Structure 1
Amino acid sequence: MTVIVTHHLALTSADNAAVAPMLADVTRQYDTIENEDLIRRAPVLARELPAHLLEFLEEFRLGEPSALCVVSGLAVNEEDLGPTPTHWRDSQHGSPAFRQEVFFLLCGSALGDVFGWGTQQDGRIMHDVLPIKGHEHYEIGSNSLQHLSWHTEDAFHPCRGDYVALMCLKNPDDVETMVCSIDLLDIERLDVAALFEPEFTVMPDNSHQPQLSRGSTGDPALDALRARSFRLIEQWNKKPEKRPLFFGDPGSPYMALDPYHMDSSGWPERHRQAFDGLCAQIEERMSTVALRPGDCIFIDNFRAVHGRKSFQPRYDGSDRWLKRLNITRNIRGSRAWRTSADSRIIQ
C-alpha cells in the first residue's frame, strides 16, 4: 500500500484551551453553522486562530507541500454528540457539534471561501457525511455497503472547489478514506500530452440529482434557479462537454476526473488508452487514512482524488459521522452561478 505524504499539525491541549473561549463566544452569538452572517464573518474570525495554525494552513495553501493536509487533536466529547443522525436534513439545527463545526469553518475560511451547491443537501454550506438507510448501494457519500469510488469532487463542474474538507466526529470502525495524489504517479509513464487535450467527458455525479433534494424551498425565485440547475445537470448528462483531464503545469499537472461517471465510448483510441493508464496508476498507488474524532483533513481537489472503503452500517446512533466543506480560492469565478456577489451558494 502506497503511503501519501501528509502535511500534519497536531493540536495540543494548550491549543484547544486557546480556541475554546472564541468558539464559545461564536456559538453564543449564532444558532447554526448555516447562518449567513457567520459564514460572511468567518474569514475575519479565523484570524483569532493560533498563529502557528494559520501559518501551517497558509503553507499548505501556497507551497503545496502535499495534497493532503491534516489538523488533528481537536477536542471532541463523543458523549456530548449524542447519536449519529439518521439523515442530513435538519441536523444543523441545535447541533451538538456546533463548536467543532465553527472551528472547521474557520480553518476552511483560512484557505479560501467556503461554498455550497443549490443542488446538493438543499443548498447547505456544511454537509453531513453519514450512512442513510436505502443508500447502501448508491454511488453517493451516504452509501455504506459498497465502496465510494475514487473521484475529484464535483469533477464535472467548472466551479468545483480547490479543496474538499472533512472533519471526523465519529468513526468507530476505522473506516478508511482513500486518497491518491498526482505526486504518487509516475508521470513519465503517462501520455501527458493526450491527457491535456479536450477529448474527455465527465457526467454529473449522483449527489446533484433532483431526487435527493427536499423539493420546494418556499422561495419561488430560488426554486426557479434550482430548477434551472437541475435542467443543466440533465443536459450535461445527455451531452457532456469535452474537456481535458490534466491542466496547469505539464511537469506537475493538476487533474480532474471521476471514472464512475465517465463513459469512454466515442473517445479517440489514444485518449482512451491514456485514461486507462492514468486510472491504473491511481488504483495501484492509492493510499488510505482512517480518520479519528477531532481530525480535520483538507484534500487538494486539484492534485488528489479521494474515495472511501465500504463498511457495515449499524443505524443505532453509533455510525461514522463526518462534516464536509467545499472551499474555493476563486469565488468570483462562479459569479454567474450565484444570486449575489456575497452569496456562497452556486445555483
Structure 2
Amino acid sequence: MPSSIIDCAPYQAELLALASTLPTVPRADLYAFFEDAKRLAERLPQELRDGLDDFNAHGNADGYLLLRGLPVEPDDELPATPASSPAPADRQLLNMEAMLCVVGGGLGLLTAYDQGYGNRRSITVLHELYPTPEAHPLSGSTSKTQLEFHTDLSHHAHQPNYILLSCSRGDHEGKAATLVGSIRKALPLLSDEVRDQLFEGKFTLRYDATDPEATVRTRPLYGDRSDPYVSFNRSCVSAETPQDVAALSALSTALTDVIEPVLLTRGDLLIIDNFRIAHGRAPFTARWDGKDRWLHRAYVRTDRNGQLSGGERAGDVVPFAARR
C-alpha cells in the first residue's frame, strides 16, 4: 500500500502556477470553479497524481494521505481567521482553498450535504473550521474539549468517501492534532466473536442532539468481512444487548489503541478515508486574536458503496436521506 505522506515542497512553484489559473472569486460560481479545479487535477505533478490515484484505488493502513509543503500565503497576507460562517461570497481565493479543490477534484466529486439538522448549519461545499467561544462539544468548532472519535455523516445514506482538511493556519501551541484511528490497524485487535457482533448486532446512532427521535440504525462494521468499513461515533452510538455493548466497547478500545495524532500546520492537506477511520481532535487553547487555527474542509463522493447514481456534478447538494 502507498505511503501516507507526500512532500509537495518541491512542486510549490508548479502548484502556484496551476492555482493562478483558477477563478479568483470561487463563490461567484462554484459549479464553474469546481469544473476548472477538476481539469487542473489532471495537470498535478506526476508523483502527487500517482499518490492520489493509488490512495483512491487502495487506501492504506493508516487511513489517510497527508500532503505537506503545499503553497500557502505568508501569514501576514492572510485574512484574519474567521469569526463567523459562511465565508463572504466575494472573498478572494486562498491558496489552501485552491489546493483543497484541485486535490478533491482529482479524487471524485466535491459535494455539499443537507445533514439533517434543519437550518442550523449552512449547506455549502466549502466549510471552514476555526474555534468559536460557545461551540457545541460535538462540533468541529470546539477547542477546549477533545472532539471525540466519529465517522463524518455516518447517519447519511450517501456518506462521503473522503474528508479533506487543508490548513491555512495551525494553532498557536501546536496541540490541535487530528486523531486518526484506522480500522485496518484496529481489526487485528478484535476477536472473531466481536467482529461478528459488530457486523450483525443492533446499534442506534442519534445524529441530532436536540431531537431524541433523530436516530438511525447503524452497523459499526460493514462491507467485506476481511477488510471492512467502519462507522463509529463514540458520543452518539448506543447498543441494545450486553453483547452489543461489549462489542462496541471493544471497538472503541481498539481504535483508541491505534490512534495516530496528525498535527496540521500551514501548507498541509489531510485526506481522510471516511469509510476506514474514525477521527477526532485534541483540545487546544484559542486566543481569539485573528491568528487562531484555520482549516478549510470539503467532502468528496466517489462511486463506492452507492454514493453515486449517475448524473451528479461537483458542487451538488445531496438532500438528507437517513441511513437504513
What TM-score bracket applies, with the shorter chain setting the length? 0.7 to 0.9
Distance 2:95 2:257 in 1: 39
Amino acid at match of 2:85: W
Q: Is the 8 A contact 1:11 1:72 kept in 2?
A: yes
Amino acid at match of 1:85: P
1:87 correspondence with 2:90:
no
Q: Is the 8 A contact 2:111 2:317 kept in 1?
A: yes
1:164 correspondence with 2:163:
yes
Partner of 1:189: 191
CA RMSD of aligned residues (A): 2.5
Partner of 2:237: 262
Distance 2:55 2:22 in 1: 26
Distance 2:242 2:228 in 1: 22
Structure 1 residues 278 and 16, CA gap change in structure 2 (3 angstroms): same
- Which digits, 9 at most, give the CA deviation of each residue in 1:293-323, with x for residues without a partner? 0000101111111110111111110100101
Q: Is the 8 A contact 2:302 2:308 kept in 1?
A: no
Structure 1 residues 35 and 187, CA gap change in structure 2 (3 angstroms): same
Structure 1 residues 334 and 303, CA gap change in structure 2 (3 angstroms): closer
Structure 1 residues 33 and 169, CA gap change in structure 2 (3 angstroms): farther
| TM-fit CA distance, 1:261 | 1.2
Distance 1:304 1:332 in 2: 16
Distance 1:22 1:322 in 2: 21
Amino acid at match of 1:9: I
Q: Is the 8 A contact 1:121 1:127 kept in 2?
A: no
Once the two structures are superposed, the pairs formed by residues 188-267 of structure 1 within 5 Å of their partners are: 188-189=190-191, 191-204=194-207, 234=211, 237-238=212-213, 240-264=215-239, 267=240
| TM-fit CA distance, 1:19 | 2.2
Q: Is the 8 A contact 2:71 2:95 kept in 1?
A: no
Distance 2:229 2:26 in 1: 39
Distance 2:306 2:181 in 1: 27
Q: Is the 8 A contact 1:247 1:254 kept in 2?
A: yes
Distance 2:45 2:294 in 1: 26
Partner of 2:318: 346
| TM-fit CA distance, 1:331 | 8.7
1:24 correspondence with 2:20:
yes
- Which digits, 9 at most, give the CA deviation of each residue in 1:143-169, with x for residues without a partner? 111111111111111211111111111
Output the TM-score relative to the length of structure 1: 0.81
Structure 1 residues 241 and 89, CA gap change in structure 2 (3 angstroms): closer
List alignment gaps of at least 5 residues for structure 2: 320-324
Q: Is the 8 A contact 1:116 1:123 kept in 2?
A: yes
| TM-fit CA distance, 1:195 | 0.7
Partner of 2:322: none
Once the two structures are superposed, the pairs formed by residues 123-134 of structure 1 within 5 Å of their partners are: 123-134=123-134
Partner of 1:271: 244
Give SS of 2:27's match.
coil
Partner of 1:213: none
Structure 1 residues 110 and 258, CA gap change in structure 2 (3 angstroms): same
Structure 1 residues 170 and 32, CA gap change in structure 2 (3 angstroms): same
Give SS of 2:296's match.
strand
- Which digits, 9 at most, give the CA deviation of each residue in 1:129-155, with x for residues without a partner? 0011221x5320011111111111111
| TM-fit CA distance, 1:330 | 2.9
The match for 1:288 among 244, 261, 271 is 261
Distance 1:205 1:148 in 2: 16
| TM-fit CA distance, 1:200 | 0.9
Give SS of 2:41's match.
helix
Distance 1:33 1:169 in 2: 21
Structure 1 residues 322 and 91, CA gap change in structure 2 (3 angstroms): farther
Partner of 2:153: 154
- Which digits, 9 at most, give the CA deviation of each residue in 1:58-107, with x for residues without a partner? 01111222311011101212111131111232346314x52321121110
The match for 1:53 among 48, 53, 64 is 48
Structure 1 residues 33 and 262, CA gap change in structure 2 (3 angstroms): farther
Amino acid at match of 2:130: L
| TM-fit CA distance, 1:11 | 0.9
Partner of 1:300: 273
Distance 2:78 2:34 in 1: 23
Partner of 1:42: 37
| TM-fit CA distance, 1:117 | 1.5
Partner of 1:224: none
- The structure in which a higher percent of residues are helix is 1
Q: Is the 8 A contact 1:178 1:308 kept in 2?
A: yes
Amino acid at match of 2:191: R
Q: Is the 8 A contact 2:19 2:98 kept in 1?
A: yes
Distance 1:259 1:82 in 2: 35
| TM-fit CA distance, 1:263 | 2.8
